[in-house]
Amino acid sequence: MGGPGPGRPRRADARRNIEALVEAATRLLAVDPDASMNEVARAAGVGRVTLYGHFGSRTALVAEVVDRAIAQTDEALAQLDLDGDPREALGRLLEATWQLTHRFGAVVVAASRALPPEQMRRAHEGLAVRVRGLLERGREAGRFRGDMPLEWQLGVVQAVLHGASAAVHRGEVAAEDAPWLVRETVLAALAA
Amino acid sequence: MGGPGPGRPRRADARRNIEALVEAATRLLAVDPDASMNEVARAAGVGRVTLYGHFGSRTALVAEVVDRAIAQTDEALAQLDLDGDPREALGRLLEATWQLTHRFGAVVVAASRALPPEQMRRAHEGLAVRVRGLLERGREAGRFRGDMPLEWQLGVVQAVLHGASAAVHRGEVAAEDAPWLVRETVLAALAA
Protein backbone atom coordinates (compact mmCIF):
# COMPACT_ATOMS: atom_id res chain seq x y z
CA MET A 1 0.00 0.00 0.00
CA GLY A 2 1.04 3.67 -0.32
CA GLY A 3 4.19 4.83 -2.12
CA PRO A 4 7.19 2.63 -2.87
CA GLY A 5 9.25 1.44 0.12
CA PRO A 6 12.89 2.41 0.58
CA GLY A 7 14.56 -0.58 -1.14
CA ARG A 8 14.44 -1.87 -4.72
CA PRO A 9 11.45 0.06 -6.11
CA ARG A 10 13.08 3.40 -5.43
CA ARG A 11 16.26 2.30 -7.14
CA ALA A 12 14.19 1.04 -10.06
CA ASP A 13 12.47 4.45 -10.24
CA ALA A 14 15.84 6.18 -10.26
CA ARG A 15 17.07 3.94 -13.06
CA ARG A 16 13.93 4.62 -15.10
CA ASN A 17 14.29 8.38 -14.57
CA ILE A 18 17.95 8.31 -15.58
CA GLU A 19 17.12 6.34 -18.72
CA ALA A 20 14.28 8.74 -19.61
CA LEU A 21 16.53 11.77 -19.03
CA VAL A 22 19.45 10.46 -21.07
CA GLU A 23 17.14 9.36 -23.88
CA ALA A 24 15.37 12.75 -23.95
CA ALA A 25 18.67 14.66 -23.76
CA THR A 26 20.12 12.64 -26.67
CA ARG A 27 17.02 13.25 -28.78
CA LEU A 28 16.88 17.00 -28.05
CA LEU A 29 20.64 17.65 -28.33
CA ALA A 30 20.75 15.79 -31.66
CA VAL A 31 18.51 18.55 -33.06
CA ASP A 32 19.44 21.56 -30.90
CA PRO A 33 22.91 21.64 -29.31
CA ASP A 34 21.70 24.40 -26.96
CA ALA A 35 18.74 22.41 -25.56
CA SER A 36 18.36 23.41 -21.89
CA MET A 37 18.04 21.37 -18.70
CA ASN A 38 14.40 22.56 -18.42
CA GLU A 39 13.60 21.29 -21.90
CA VAL A 40 15.21 17.92 -21.13
CA ALA A 41 13.27 17.55 -17.85
CA ARG A 42 10.01 18.43 -19.61
CA ALA A 43 10.63 16.02 -22.50
CA ALA A 44 11.52 13.23 -20.05
CA GLY A 45 8.44 13.91 -17.91
CA VAL A 46 10.69 14.35 -14.88
CA GLY A 47 10.87 17.26 -12.40
CA ARG A 48 13.79 19.69 -12.25
CA VAL A 49 14.70 18.55 -8.73
CA THR A 50 14.92 14.93 -9.87
CA LEU A 51 16.95 15.95 -12.94
CA TYR A 52 19.48 17.87 -10.84
CA GLY A 53 19.48 15.02 -8.30
CA HIS A 54 20.82 12.69 -11.00
CA PHE A 55 22.90 15.17 -13.03
CA GLY A 56 24.32 18.02 -10.97
CA SER A 57 24.95 20.16 -14.05
CA ARG A 58 24.20 20.36 -17.75
CA THR A 59 27.83 19.39 -18.36
CA ALA A 60 27.33 16.15 -16.38
CA LEU A 61 24.25 15.29 -18.44
CA VAL A 62 26.00 16.05 -21.75
CA ALA A 63 28.96 13.91 -20.60
CA GLU A 64 26.61 10.97 -19.94
CA VAL A 65 24.91 11.39 -23.34
CA VAL A 66 28.33 11.42 -24.98
CA ASP A 67 29.54 8.36 -23.03
CA ARG A 68 26.56 6.36 -24.26
CA ALA A 69 26.88 7.60 -27.82
CA ILE A 70 30.53 6.53 -27.77
CA ALA A 71 29.68 3.08 -26.40
CA GLN A 72 27.13 2.53 -29.19
CA THR A 73 29.57 3.88 -31.79
CA ASP A 74 32.39 1.64 -30.58
CA GLU A 75 30.11 -1.38 -30.74
CA ALA A 76 29.21 -0.53 -34.36
CA LEU A 77 32.85 0.13 -35.35
CA ALA A 78 33.87 -3.22 -33.87
CA GLN A 79 31.68 -4.92 -36.52
CA LEU A 80 33.59 -3.30 -39.43
CA ASP A 81 35.99 -5.21 -41.67
CA LEU A 82 39.22 -3.19 -41.60
CA ASP A 83 41.39 -5.78 -43.37
CA GLY A 84 42.63 -5.49 -46.95
CA ASP A 85 43.93 -2.35 -48.67
CA PRO A 86 44.48 0.34 -45.98
CA ARG A 87 43.09 3.17 -48.17
CA GLU A 88 39.89 1.26 -48.85
CA ALA A 89 39.65 0.19 -45.22
CA LEU A 90 40.11 3.80 -44.05
CA GLY A 91 37.41 4.84 -46.52
CA ARG A 92 35.00 2.28 -45.00
CA LEU A 93 35.92 3.40 -41.49
CA LEU A 94 35.35 7.07 -42.34
CA GLU A 95 31.98 6.45 -43.96
CA ALA A 96 30.79 4.33 -41.03
CA THR A 97 32.05 6.92 -38.54
CA TRP A 98 30.24 9.62 -40.42
CA GLN A 99 26.94 7.70 -40.42
CA LEU A 100 27.27 7.14 -36.66
CA THR A 101 28.27 10.76 -36.01
CA HIS A 102 25.36 11.94 -38.10
CA ARG A 103 22.91 9.72 -36.22
CA PHE A 104 23.81 11.66 -33.07
CA GLY A 105 23.58 14.90 -35.05
CA ALA A 106 24.16 18.07 -33.05
CA VAL A 107 25.17 16.04 -29.96
CA VAL A 108 28.71 16.46 -31.31
CA VAL A 109 28.26 20.24 -31.41
CA ALA A 110 26.74 20.27 -27.90
CA ALA A 111 29.61 18.14 -26.63
CA SER A 112 32.33 20.33 -28.13
CA ARG A 113 30.70 23.38 -26.50
CA ALA A 114 30.12 21.83 -23.07
CA LEU A 115 33.03 19.43 -22.51
CA PRO A 116 36.72 20.25 -22.05
CA PRO A 117 38.96 19.32 -25.01
CA GLU A 118 40.58 16.51 -22.98
CA GLN A 119 37.20 14.84 -22.53
CA MET A 120 36.43 15.28 -26.24
CA ARG A 121 39.70 13.57 -27.07
CA ARG A 122 38.96 10.62 -24.80
CA ALA A 123 35.58 10.45 -26.53
CA HIS A 124 37.42 9.58 -29.73
CA GLU A 125 39.72 6.88 -28.43
CA GLY A 126 37.79 4.06 -30.11
CA LEU A 127 38.04 5.74 -33.50
CA ALA A 128 41.60 6.97 -32.92
CA VAL A 129 42.89 3.45 -32.17
CA ARG A 130 41.42 2.13 -35.42
CA VAL A 131 42.61 5.05 -37.57
CA ARG A 132 46.07 4.80 -36.03
CA GLY A 133 46.24 1.09 -36.87
CA LEU A 134 45.28 1.74 -40.50
CA LEU A 135 47.73 4.66 -40.77
CA GLU A 136 50.59 2.51 -39.49
CA ARG A 137 49.75 -0.31 -41.86
CA GLY A 138 49.17 2.07 -44.81
CA ARG A 139 52.39 4.04 -44.23
CA GLU A 140 54.40 0.84 -44.09
CA ALA A 141 52.76 -0.37 -47.33
CA GLY A 142 53.48 2.97 -49.03
CA ARG A 143 49.75 3.69 -49.42
CA PHE A 144 49.85 6.77 -47.13
CA ARG A 145 52.62 9.34 -47.13
CA GLY A 146 55.19 8.65 -44.43
CA ASP A 147 56.94 12.05 -44.40
CA MET A 148 54.46 13.57 -41.94
CA PRO A 149 54.08 12.65 -38.25
CA LEU A 150 51.43 9.99 -37.72
CA GLU A 151 49.93 12.13 -34.92
CA TRP A 152 49.44 14.94 -37.42
CA GLN A 153 47.64 12.66 -39.87
CA LEU A 154 45.41 11.39 -37.06
CA GLY A 155 44.61 15.00 -36.16
CA VAL A 156 43.74 15.78 -39.80
CA VAL A 157 41.26 12.87 -39.90
CA GLN A 158 39.55 14.14 -36.74
CA ALA A 159 39.61 17.78 -37.89
CA VAL A 160 37.94 16.88 -41.22
CA LEU A 161 35.28 14.73 -39.51
CA HIS A 162 34.53 17.54 -37.04
CA GLY A 163 34.53 20.12 -39.80
CA ALA A 164 31.97 18.01 -41.67
CA SER A 165 29.66 17.85 -38.64
CA ALA A 166 29.89 21.61 -38.22
CA ALA A 167 29.35 22.28 -41.96
CA VAL A 168 26.25 20.08 -42.06
CA HIS A 169 24.96 21.69 -38.85
CA ARG A 170 25.41 25.15 -40.44
CA GLY A 171 23.66 23.99 -43.61
CA GLU A 172 26.72 24.54 -45.83
CA VAL A 173 26.97 20.89 -46.86
CA ALA A 174 24.12 18.40 -47.44
CA ALA A 175 24.24 15.48 -44.99
CA GLU A 176 24.17 12.96 -47.87
CA ASP A 177 27.26 14.55 -49.48
CA ALA A 178 29.31 14.49 -46.27
CA PRO A 179 30.53 10.84 -46.31
CA TRP A 180 31.98 11.24 -49.80
CA LEU A 181 33.53 14.64 -49.03
CA VAL A 182 35.13 13.34 -45.81
CA ARG A 183 36.46 10.22 -47.52
CA GLU A 184 37.84 12.00 -50.61
CA THR A 185 39.39 14.86 -48.62
CA VAL A 186 41.10 12.64 -46.07
CA LEU A 187 42.41 10.14 -48.64
CA ALA A 188 43.77 13.01 -50.78
CA ALA A 189 45.45 14.63 -47.76
CA LEU A 190 47.13 11.33 -46.80
CA ALA A 191 48.00 10.09 -50.29
CA ALA A 192 51.59 8.87 -50.72
CA MET B 1 45.05 69.47 -6.22
CA GLY B 2 44.35 65.94 -5.03
CA GLY B 3 43.07 63.16 -7.35
CA PRO B 4 42.22 63.67 -11.02
CA GLY B 5 39.16 65.75 -11.81
CA PRO B 6 36.12 64.39 -13.60
CA GLY B 7 37.08 65.21 -17.20
CA ARG B 8 40.03 64.20 -19.40
CA PRO B 9 42.46 62.72 -16.85
CA ARG B 10 39.95 60.09 -15.74
CA ARG B 11 39.28 59.07 -19.33
CA ALA B 12 43.02 58.92 -19.94
CA ASP B 13 43.37 56.66 -16.87
CA ALA B 14 40.61 54.42 -18.12
CA ARG B 15 42.29 54.17 -21.54
CA ARG B 16 45.62 53.33 -19.93
CA ASN B 17 43.99 50.65 -17.74
CA ILE B 18 42.19 49.12 -20.70
CA GLU B 19 45.43 49.03 -22.71
CA ALA B 20 47.30 47.44 -19.78
CA LEU B 21 44.54 44.85 -19.26
CA VAL B 22 44.28 43.86 -22.92
CA GLU B 23 48.06 43.70 -23.27
CA ALA B 24 48.39 41.53 -20.11
CA ALA B 25 45.50 39.29 -21.15
CA THR B 26 47.01 38.75 -24.62
CA ARG B 27 50.40 37.89 -23.10
CA LEU B 28 48.96 35.48 -20.50
CA LEU B 29 46.40 33.80 -22.78
CA ALA B 30 49.08 33.23 -25.43
CA VAL B 31 50.79 30.92 -22.93
CA ASP B 32 47.88 29.63 -20.81
CA PRO B 33 44.41 29.56 -22.42
CA ASP B 34 42.88 29.15 -18.93
CA ALA B 35 44.51 32.30 -17.47
CA SER B 36 42.03 33.79 -14.97
CA MET B 37 40.67 37.31 -14.52
CA ASN B 38 42.63 37.55 -11.24
CA GLU B 39 45.88 36.71 -12.99
CA VAL B 40 45.18 39.28 -15.71
CA ALA B 41 44.38 42.00 -13.14
CA ARG B 42 47.56 41.22 -11.22
CA ALA B 43 49.76 41.19 -14.34
CA ALA B 44 48.25 44.50 -15.48
CA GLY B 45 48.72 46.08 -12.03
CA VAL B 46 45.01 46.89 -11.94
CA GLY B 47 42.42 46.07 -9.25
CA ARG B 48 39.65 43.51 -9.75
CA VAL B 49 36.96 46.19 -9.44
CA THR B 50 38.57 48.23 -12.22
CA LEU B 51 38.98 45.11 -14.38
CA TYR B 52 35.31 44.18 -14.03
CA GLY B 53 34.37 47.82 -14.54
CA HIS B 54 35.92 47.68 -18.03
CA PHE B 55 35.19 44.04 -18.89
CA GLY B 56 32.04 42.67 -17.27
CA SER B 57 33.12 39.06 -17.82
CA ARG B 58 36.09 36.96 -18.85
CA THR B 59 34.28 36.36 -22.15
CA ALA B 60 34.15 40.12 -22.81
CA LEU B 61 37.89 40.41 -22.16
CA VAL B 62 38.72 37.42 -24.39
CA ALA B 63 36.50 38.92 -27.12
CA GLU B 64 38.47 42.19 -26.97
CA VAL B 65 41.81 40.34 -27.09
CA VAL B 66 40.58 38.42 -30.12
CA ASP B 67 39.27 41.57 -31.86
CA ARG B 68 42.69 43.20 -31.57
CA ALA B 69 44.53 40.06 -32.65
CA ILE B 70 42.30 39.92 -35.72
CA ALA B 71 42.90 43.58 -36.56
CA GLN B 72 46.68 43.05 -36.42
CA THR B 73 46.41 39.84 -38.43
CA ASP B 74 44.26 41.49 -41.11
CA GLU B 75 46.76 44.30 -41.42
CA ALA B 76 49.59 41.80 -41.94
CA LEU B 77 47.58 39.71 -44.44
CA ALA B 78 46.80 42.85 -46.44
CA GLN B 79 50.55 43.19 -47.15
CA LEU B 80 50.78 39.74 -48.79
CA ASP B 81 51.17 39.22 -52.53
CA LEU B 82 48.36 36.84 -53.50
CA ASP B 83 48.78 37.18 -57.26
CA GLY B 84 50.28 34.53 -59.53
CA ASP B 85 49.70 30.77 -59.35
CA PRO B 86 46.78 30.14 -56.96
CA ARG B 87 48.43 27.09 -55.32
CA GLU B 88 51.60 29.00 -54.58
CA ALA B 89 49.59 32.02 -53.42
CA LEU B 90 47.51 29.82 -51.10
CA GLY B 91 50.73 28.31 -49.77
CA ARG B 92 52.05 31.81 -48.95
CA LEU B 93 48.74 32.78 -47.35
CA LEU B 94 48.70 29.62 -45.20
CA GLU B 95 52.27 30.07 -44.01
CA ALA B 96 51.69 33.73 -43.13
CA THR B 97 48.45 32.87 -41.37
CA TRP B 98 50.22 30.20 -39.39
CA GLN B 99 52.97 32.57 -38.27
CA LEU B 100 50.37 35.10 -37.16
CA THR B 101 48.26 32.46 -35.43
CA HIS B 102 51.32 31.13 -33.70
CA ARG B 103 52.34 34.59 -32.50
CA PHE B 104 49.08 34.72 -30.56
CA GLY B 105 49.67 31.15 -29.39
CA ALA B 106 47.05 29.76 -27.02
CA VAL B 107 44.84 32.84 -27.51
CA VAL B 108 43.21 30.76 -30.26
CA VAL B 109 42.56 27.94 -27.79
CA ALA B 110 41.21 30.38 -25.18
CA ALA B 111 38.97 31.98 -27.80
CA SER B 112 37.54 28.69 -29.03
CA ARG B 113 36.69 27.76 -25.42
CA ALA B 114 35.21 31.11 -24.40
CA LEU B 115 33.51 32.48 -27.51
CA PRO B 116 30.44 31.12 -29.32
CA PRO B 117 31.18 29.47 -32.71
CA GLU B 118 29.46 32.36 -34.54
CA GLN B 119 31.93 34.83 -33.04
CA MET B 120 34.84 32.53 -33.92
CA ARG B 121 33.63 32.43 -37.50
CA ARG B 122 33.42 36.21 -37.72
CA ALA B 123 36.94 36.25 -36.32
CA HIS B 124 38.09 34.52 -39.49
CA GLU B 125 36.37 36.73 -42.03
CA GLY B 126 39.60 38.42 -43.16
CA LEU B 127 41.26 35.08 -43.85
CA ALA B 128 38.09 33.52 -45.30
CA VAL B 129 37.66 36.30 -47.88
CA ARG B 130 41.22 35.80 -49.12
CA VAL B 131 41.08 31.99 -49.18
CA ARG B 132 37.73 32.13 -50.98
CA GLY B 133 39.20 34.42 -53.64
CA LEU B 134 42.14 32.06 -54.23
CA LEU B 135 39.86 29.01 -54.30
CA GLU B 136 37.61 30.61 -56.92
CA ARG B 137 40.57 31.61 -59.05
CA GLY B 138 42.30 28.22 -58.59
CA ARG B 139 39.17 26.18 -59.37
CA GLU B 140 38.60 28.17 -62.55
CA ALA B 141 42.24 27.63 -63.58
CA GLY B 142 41.98 23.87 -62.86
CA ARG B 143 44.59 24.14 -60.08
CA PHE B 144 42.13 23.09 -57.33
CA ARG B 145 39.52 20.37 -57.73
CA GLY B 146 36.13 21.76 -58.67
CA ASP B 147 33.99 18.71 -57.84
CA MET B 148 33.59 19.67 -54.17
CA PRO B 149 31.61 22.63 -52.81
CA LEU B 150 33.79 25.69 -52.33
CA GLU B 151 32.33 26.10 -48.82
CA TRP B 152 33.58 22.63 -47.96
CA GLN B 153 37.10 23.43 -49.16
CA LEU B 154 37.07 26.67 -47.14
CA GLY B 155 36.03 24.65 -44.08
CA VAL B 156 38.88 22.17 -44.67
CA VAL B 157 41.44 25.02 -44.73
CA GLN B 158 40.11 26.35 -41.42
CA ALA B 159 39.85 22.88 -39.84
CA VAL B 160 43.49 22.08 -40.72
CA LEU B 161 44.74 25.46 -39.41
CA HIS B 162 42.83 24.96 -36.16
CA GLY B 163 43.98 21.37 -35.89
CA ALA B 164 47.56 22.60 -36.22
CA SER B 165 47.13 25.13 -33.39
CA ALA B 166 45.66 22.44 -31.17
CA ALA B 167 48.37 19.89 -32.08
CA VAL B 168 51.19 22.36 -31.30
CA HIS B 169 49.44 23.35 -28.06
CA ARG B 170 49.25 19.65 -27.06
CA GLY B 171 52.91 19.17 -27.95
CA GLU B 172 52.18 16.61 -30.71
CA VAL B 173 53.71 18.73 -33.47
CA ALA B 174 56.72 21.06 -33.25
CA ALA B 175 55.80 24.69 -33.94
CA GLU B 176 58.48 24.94 -36.66
CA ASP B 177 57.01 21.96 -38.54
CA ALA B 178 53.46 23.32 -38.52
CA PRO B 179 53.66 25.74 -41.51
CA TRP B 180 54.93 22.99 -43.81
CA LEU B 181 52.39 20.44 -42.53
CA VAL B 182 49.49 22.87 -42.93
CA ARG B 183 50.59 23.88 -46.43
CA GLU B 184 51.25 20.33 -47.70
CA THR B 185 48.07 18.91 -46.19
CA VAL B 186 45.77 21.62 -47.51
CA LEU B 187 47.31 21.66 -50.99
CA ALA B 188 47.03 17.84 -51.20
CA ALA B 189 43.41 17.91 -50.03
CA LEU B 190 42.51 20.55 -52.66
CA ALA B 191 44.62 19.21 -55.55
CA ALA B 192 42.78 18.91 -58.88
Answer yes or no: is pLDDT of B11 > 70.
yes
Looking at residue A27, which CATH number applies to its domain?
A: 1.10.10
CB–CB contact B163 A155 (8 Å): yes
Number of structural domains found in chain B? 2
* A61 located within any domain: no
* A152 located within any domain: yes
Judge if B24 and B79 occupy the same domain: no
**Partner residue facing B163 (CB), from A159, A167, A184:** A159
* A156 located within any domain: yes
pLDDT band at B3 (very low <50, low <70, confident <90, very high): very low
**Partner residue facing B167 (CB), from A152, A163, A188:** A152
B14 and A CB contact within 8 Å = no
Judge if A81 and A34 occupy the same domain: no
Judge if B154 and B182 occupy the same domain: yes
Judge if B166 and B90 occupy the same domain: yes
- Rounded distance between C-alpha atoms, residue A181 and residue A162, angstroms: 12
Count of other CB atoms within 10 angstroms of residue B116: 12
Judge if B117 and B37 occupy the same domain: no
What is the span of the domain harbouring residue B47? 1-56
* B110 located within any domain: yes
From the CA atom positions of chain B, what is the Rg in Å? Answer: 20
A156 and B CB contact within 8 Å = yes
* B61 located within any domain: no
Judge if B71 and B122 occupy the same domain: yes
CB–CB contact B160 A159 (8 Å): yes
Judge if B162 and B128 occupy the same domain: yes
Q: Which amino acid is at B38?
A: N
Residue B191 with chain A: CB contacts under 8 Å: 188
Judge if A51 and A17 occupy the same domain: yes
Higher pLDDT, A105 or B27: B27
**Partner residue facing B155 (CB), from A117, A167, A189:** A167
CB–CB contact B117 A166 (8 Å): yes
Judge if B97 and B128 occupy the same domain: yes
pLDDT given at position B120: 74
Chains A, B: CB contacts within 8 A come to: 73
Judge if A23 and A100 occupy the same domain: no
- Rounded distance between C-alpha atoms, residue A137 and residue B156, angstroms: 25
Judge if A13 and A105 occupy the same domain: no
CB–CB contact B152 A167 (8 Å): yes
Looking at residue B125, which CATH number applies to its domain?
A: 1.10.357
pLDDT given at position A9: 65
pLDDT tens by residue, B71-107: 888 888 899 999 999 999 999 999 998 888 777 877 8
pLDDT tens by residue, B138-177: 999 999 999 999 999 999 998 999 889 888 888 999 989 9
A125 and B CB contact within 8 Å = no
Give the phi and the psi of residue A129 in degrees, each rounded to 5: -60, -40
Rounded mean pLDDT, B116-137: 85
Residue A159 with chain B: CB contacts under 8 Å: 159-160, 162-163
Residue ranges, chain A, pLDDT below 70: 1-9, 122-123
Count of other CB atoms within 10 angstroms of residue A127: 23
* B47 located within any domain: yes
- Rounded distance between C-alpha atoms, residue B94 and residue A54, angstroms: 47
Judge if A22 and A90 occupy the same domain: no
CB–CB contact A117 B163 (8 Å): no
Is residue A121 within 8 A of residue A132, CB to CB? The reply is no
- Rounded distance between C-alpha atoms, residue A53 and residue A61, angstroms: 11
